Amino acid sequence: MTSGAVRGRPPARRLDGRLVALGVTGSIAAYKAPELVRALQTAGADVVALLSPAATRFVAPLALEALTRHPVEDDLLALLPDGRMGHIVVADAADAILVAPATAHWLGAMANGLAGDTVTATCLATAAPVVVAPAMDGGMYAHPATRANVRRLRDDFGYAIVEPEDGPLASGSLGVGRLARADRIVEAVVAAIGDRPIRAADPAARPPRSHEPREGDLTGRHVIVTAGGTAEPIDPVRFIGNRSTGRMGVAVAEAALDRGARVTLIVGLTTVALPPQAEQVRAETTAAMRVAVLEALPAADALVMAAAVADFRPRRAATAKLGRRDGLTLELEPTEDILAEAAVRARRLDPGPLLVGFAAETGSLDRAPGKLTGKGVDLLVANDVAEDGSGFGSETNRVTILSKAGQRDELPLLTKREVADRLLDRVARALDDRDAAAQTQAMIGTTTT
Ligand code: CTP
């Protein structure tokens, strides 16, 4: 056995699980940023790039986004889709911030706390260690102003400085100013992090991923999604309805289509555009939705019941428009619980479809576990619709996903599309598990008969 093997963890993966923010500023050496991203990734890091305005003239943000799979933070004032400030999310989640290359201008701005770009602002806001690799002309690096700024960063701020190397510079002259080699820089990042705990292990607390469809993990699956609110007629022109827009259900349908599923979208009243690639079934009343769901269920792999189904309907709907002068007393009766009935049917099917319910609560999610078991579903997505940024009509949602197996995942405020993808991550996994269990069962059956 070699001495390397007994050390346990291979040295190449010393940044496993770490988020490293790479701040790039406007030196010619910025062209080496993609190489640095690769070197950090090879060591196991999840990398997000921050670019100063000048850096975007040397290296295309798109190149760094493609490599890191995170949108690049190059606009100090830009907000993430869920309203969070991008560079603050990076500051709070990063295990280290690496500024490479750091220009003379950037060193001066940082030494004085001038947060004029995302790189300085993130360094000011973070509690993570900061590693700085300067690169510039030799004369500039030797200037007392630059030397003083470097000293300030190192001695007062505790930043690790990866000194530039001696060699040919962009100006054609020789001198100390070349960006340090990638391996030296990665080494400094590893040393700066040391054995600190990972700051944000949950991907939801990290900067968002660039939109990447979870490639084809629902290919060959048939998913039924219900969306919108039901309308229970009082007379031919009036109905009892609710505030649902259908946005959440449509987001689930779109995400499932992007992941390769065949989608049947059963819709009540909606105010959002429906994806044309889905098979659409209109079902405005609870009774019609029940029929549509139960009819589609036997051929489905999953039912996602995102519709806001009415709990009560008028016992009798008038056949002619009711006059205002007569006054009106409505007698209501409870509707059928479509999801609970689907769960009973699903238990008789082999393989049984996976059932997902939604629970829109106000104030607390205490009733959610009872709904999960009461309705007999596999997953329940619960949210507090009274909370800011959640609920009817909003672009975002903060949900908790409960599973039959007892898991409880509290997700942060996310776009409805991201909530849909997080949910479908679980659906895709559960369907794979279901099929694997069936296969094992079949093999046991064959070997014992
Ligand atoms: N649901 C359903 N049929 C109904 C009512 C609700 O299939 N008649 C479904 C919803 O689409 C949702 C889940 O059941 O996926 C939970 O809905 P919710 O309104 O929160 O639960 P209810 O059973 O109606 O309980 P309550 O009104 O007491 O909150």
Q: Is 380 in the pocket of ligand 1 (CB under 6 A)?
A: no
The answer to whether the Cα torsion of 369, 223, 272, 269 is positive or negative is: negative
Q: What pLDDT shows up at residue 8?
A: 42
pLDDT at residue 440 in the model: 77
The architecture CATH gives domain 11-205: 3-Layer(aba) Sandwich (3.40)
- At residue 210, the pLDDT reads 77
* Cβ(175) – ligand 1 distance below 6 Å: no
359 lines ligand 1 (CB under 6 A): yes
pLDDT for 7: 42
Would you say the CB of residue 285 lies under 6 angstroms from ligand 1? no
The stretch 344-349 carries a mean pLDDT of 96
Arithmetic mean of pLDDT, 265-287: 97
Average pLDDT of 47-56? 96
Name the percent of the chain lying above pLDDT 90. Answer: 73
Does position 10 have pLDDT exceeding 50, yes or no? no
Q: What is the mean pLDDT of residues 365-379?
A: 95
**Joined tokens for residue 45:** 């890091």
Q: Are 286 and 273 in contact (CB under 8 A)?
A: no
Distance CA 33, CA 243 (A): 49
- Residue extents of the structural domains in the chain: 11-205, 222-444
pLDDT at 5 (0 to 100): 36
| Residue pair 135/27 in contact by the 8 Å Cβ criterion | yes
Question: Which is more confidently placed, 191 or 447?
Answer: 191
Tell me what pLDDT residue 446 has.
Answer: 64
User: Which pair of tokens denotes residue 190?
Assistant: 């590893």
- Asked whether residue 4 carries a pLDDT value surpassing 60, the answer given is no
Residue 227 CB less than 6 A away from ligand 1: no
* CATH code of the region 222-444: 3.40.50.10300
- Give the global pTM: 0.62
* Cα 337 to ligand 1 centre (Å): 7
**Domain 11-205 and domain 222-444 have a common topology:** yes
CA of 310 to the centre of ligand 1 (A): 8
pLDDT of residue 421: 92
pLDDT tens digits for range 211-263: 665 778 999 999 999 999 999 999 999 999 999 999 999 999 999 999 999 99
Kindly tell me if the per-residue pLDDT of 118 is higher than 90. Answer: yes
Give CA–CA dist 268/239, Å, rounded: 13
Round the average pLDDT of the chain to a whole number and report it.
91
Q: Take atom 6 of ligand 1 and give the residue whose Cα is closest.
A: 309
- pLDDT, one tens digit per residue, over 303-316 is 999 999 999 999 99
CA gap 144, 74 in Å, rounded: 30
As a whole number, mean pLDDT of residues 315-341 equals: 94
- Cis amide bond preceding 101, omega within 30: yes
Three-state SS annotation for the chain: CCHHHHCCCCHHHCCCCCEEEEEECCCHHHHHHHHHHHHHHHCCCEEEEEECCCHHHCCCHHHHHHHHCCCCECCCCCECCCCCEHHHHHHHHCCEEEEEEECHHHHHHHHCCCCCCHHHHHHHHCCCCEEEEECCCHHHHHCHHHHHHHHHHHHHCCCEECCCEEEECCCCCEEEEECCCHHHHHHHHHHHHCCCCCCCCCHHHCCCCCCCCCCCCCCCCEEEEEECECCEECCCCCEECCCCCCHHHHHHHHHHHHCCCEEEEEECECCCCCCCCCEEEECCCHHHHHHHHHHHHHHCCEEEECCECCCEEECCCCCCCCCCCCCCCCCEEECCCHHHHHHHHHHCCCCCCEEEEEEEECCCCCCHHHHHHHHCCCEEEEEECCCCCCCCCCCEECEEEEECCCCEEECCCEEHHHHHHHHHHHHHHHHHHHHHHHHHHHHHHHHHC
Could you report the per-residue pLDDT of 154-166, keeping only the tens digit for each? 999 999 999 999 9
Alpha-carbon radius of gyration of the chain: 28
**Quick one: pLDDT band at residue 83, thresholds 50, 70, 90?**
confident
How much is the pLDDT for 9?
41
Mean pLDDT of 163-183: 89
What is the pLDDT confidence band of residue 3, given thresholds at 50, 70 and 90?
Answer: very low
For the stretch 394-422, pLDDT in tens is: 788 889 999 998 888 888 888 898 899 99
- How close is the Cα of 360 to the center of ligand 1, in Å? 8
Is 149 a known active-site residue? no
Expressed in angstroms and rounded, the spacing between residue 305 Cα and the centre of ligand 1 is 9
- My answer on whether omega of the bond before 412 falls inside 30° of 0, hence cis, is no
Instruction: Give the mean pLDDT of 183-198.
Output: 97
Q: What is the pLDDT of residue 213?
A: 59
